[in-house]
């Protein structure tokens, strides 16, 4: 069984730190809450989610994180750019874990788009207890944190793209205050969008490892070094040191890499990538991959091209492809600033009650009633049972069902429409100006309604069973319908639209 991706599904922009025998990894989450999932592993292959760094509404707001569309050159038509939590970095210093990250906030009638960069800390990463955010001023995104002695430095991607620069500033991690001027230390190797920098020291050199080329087809990892932290930095003559562009590799878009030393002096890189078939399908979005690296004789890191089975790692027989969760609450996600009073969830997360909201999945800023988990498997199924559909009043609930959601512009669902007495399907992709629909009329509403979405790399199939009846396929849709240049990945969950009526669900499962 393949090792990569080590975190499948919606898991972009990975950062890793090793403390003792454990590796700790964090990903971007954009518009989802809780945000910034924390995974732990001893072998880089089997991971368990131990919490989320943004797990309390009072830490920050995700309301202004809607998705914007940007025209692209053919063959793509538009880029789906979702706001929210971008590109975290995790580090450890003197017994404390630090995560730095950017919250990308969309414009309002009185304010322009903004980036708010922040730090959160934990003295016990296994407790899922993280501090309030500490904001620091940085005119850009993708901050990374580097400690030297008792000093802390932020390097990040600054300025207006595509000609961003890599800037460096010393800060007070307790207050966020600057302790030095902000300086540009590198402009990249010549590619567009220099971003996602990580600064580290090895031997007598400081190294910058950054992403260039944009996070899709041109994505690459480049490297520079200097004997002084503030430069001048010389570009690696072998740049890009990691990329899949111009190849026919199954794993594409590799970039945004964090490098670290593992056991026995072995170095590794963890990066994002997509599994892309020959027809362009990659609906799982950007996932987390690992690849070995070695130091060359002339002092540069050399990475193995990202493969499903990287040299030096193997997946134990019978081990799950998906990360486990230490608690059911860890891997449940909501859209933006969820009203948690609308959700009552069992200890294992399989049973819950949802209070209907008039907000639907198209809502760009508010949070519809939607409880979900990340799709983890290319080939799998997800399901839920809506309990006692006869008790659902048509004047209080208009839609109750199971949805695949990427953002407010792209989603599909199978659902009960109590007014129409029908199970219906609808799909929306506003970037492609695409809609699809189907309907199956019911003779009566009686018993429980089982809803299932099964999937392969090529297709989603939506089916239902009412009471003790047969499982009936309602619709099949090509994965291409939800494949676009974007930042996010699919989550699958239950939703209710209506006026405050409580609907009960059981048997919730997402693979």
Catalytic residues: 13, 195
d(Cα 8, Cα 1) in Å, to the nearest integer?
Answer: 13
Q: Are 272 and 288 in contact (CB under 8 A)?
A: yes
**Which candidate, 414, 419, 413, 404, places its Cα nearest to that of 499?**
419
d(Cα 326, Cα 418) in Å, to the nearest integer?
Answer: 37
d(Cα 64, Cα 282) in Å, to the nearest integer?
Answer: 27
The DSSP secondary-structure symbol of 43 reads S
Q: Are 105 and 116 in contact (CB under 8 A)?
A: yes
Dmax of the chain from CA atoms?
A: 76
Tell me the C-alpha to C-alpha distance, in Å, between residue 31 and each of 15, 88, 103, 363: 19, 14, 10, 12
| Termini Cα distance of the chain | 16
Q: Which two tokens stand for residue 303?
A: 């990475």
65 φ/ψ sector (left φ>0, alpha ψ -120 to 50, else beta): alpha
Q: Residue 304 class from Cβ within 10 Å (0-12 exposed, 13-18 middle, 19+ buried)?
A: middle
Q: Helix (H, G, I), strand (E, B), or coil: what is residue 11?
A: coil
**Which candidate, 390, 384, 381, places its Cα nearest to that of 370?**
384
Strand-pairing partners, residue 289, are 271
């Amino acid at each position: 069984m393949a090792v990569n991706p080590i975190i499948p599904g919606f898991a972009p922009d990975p950062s890793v730190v090793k403390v003792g025998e454990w590796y700790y990894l964090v990903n971007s989450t954009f518009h989802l809450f809780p945000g910034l999932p924390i995974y732990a592993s001893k072998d880089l292959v089997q991971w368990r989610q131990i919490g989320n760094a943004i797990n309390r509404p009072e830490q920050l707001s995700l309301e202004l994180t809607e998705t914007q569309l940007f025209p692209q050159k053919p063959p793509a038509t538009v880029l789906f750019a979702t706001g929210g939590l971008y590109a975290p970095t995790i580090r450890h210093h003197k017994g404390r874990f630090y995560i730095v990250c950017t919250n990308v906030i969309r414009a309002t009638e009185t304010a322009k788009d903004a980036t708010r960069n922040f730090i959160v800390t934990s003295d016990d990463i296994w407790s899922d207890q993280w501090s309030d955010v500490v904001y620091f001023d940085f005119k850009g995104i993708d901050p990374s944190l580097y400690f030297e002695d008792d000093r802390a430095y932020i390097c990040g991607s600054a300025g207006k793209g595509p000609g961003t620069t890599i800037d460096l500033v010393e800060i007070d991690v307790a207050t966020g205050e600057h302790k030095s001027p902000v300086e540009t230390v590198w402009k990249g190797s010549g590619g567009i969008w220099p971003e996602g920098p990580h600064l580290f020291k090895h031997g007598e050199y400081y190294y910058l490892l950054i992403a260039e080329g944009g996070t899709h087809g041109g994505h690459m990892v480049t490297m520079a070094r200097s004997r002084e932290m503030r430069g001048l930095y010389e570009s690696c003559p072998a740049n890009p040191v990691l990329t899949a562009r111009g190849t026919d590799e199954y794993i594409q878009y590799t970039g945004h890499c964090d490098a670290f030393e593992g056991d026995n002096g072995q170095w590794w890189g963890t990066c994002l990538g997509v599994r892309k078939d020959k027809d362009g399908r990659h609906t799982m979005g950007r996932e987390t991959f690992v690849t070995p690296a070695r130091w060359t004789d002339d002092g540069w890191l050399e990475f193995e091209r990202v493969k499903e089975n990287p040299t030096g790692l193997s997946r134990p027989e019978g081990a799950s492809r998906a990360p486990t969760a230490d608690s059911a609450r860890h891997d449940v996600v909501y859209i933006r600033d969820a009203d948690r009073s609308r959700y009552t969830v069992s200890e294992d997360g399989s049973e819950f009650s949802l209070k209907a909201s008039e907000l639907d999945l198209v809502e760009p800023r508010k949070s519809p009633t939607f409880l979900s988990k990340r799709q983890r498997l290319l080939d799998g199924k997800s399901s839920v049972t809506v309990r006692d559909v006869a008790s659902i009043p048509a004047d209080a609930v208009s839609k109750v069902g199971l949805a695949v959601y990427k953002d407010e512009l792209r989603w599909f669902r199978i659902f009960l429409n109590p007014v129409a007495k029908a199970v219906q399907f609808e799909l929306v992709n506003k970037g492609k100006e695409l809609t699809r629909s189907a309907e199956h009329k019911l003779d009566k509403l009686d018993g429980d309604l089982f809803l299932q979405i099964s999937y392969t790399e090529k297709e989603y199939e939506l089916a239902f069973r009412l009471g003790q009846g047969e499982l009936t396929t309602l619709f099949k849709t090509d994965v291409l319908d939800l494949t676009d240049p974007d930042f996010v990945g699919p989550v699958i969950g239950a939703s209710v639209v209506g006026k405050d009526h409580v609907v009960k669900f059981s048997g919730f499962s997402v693979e």
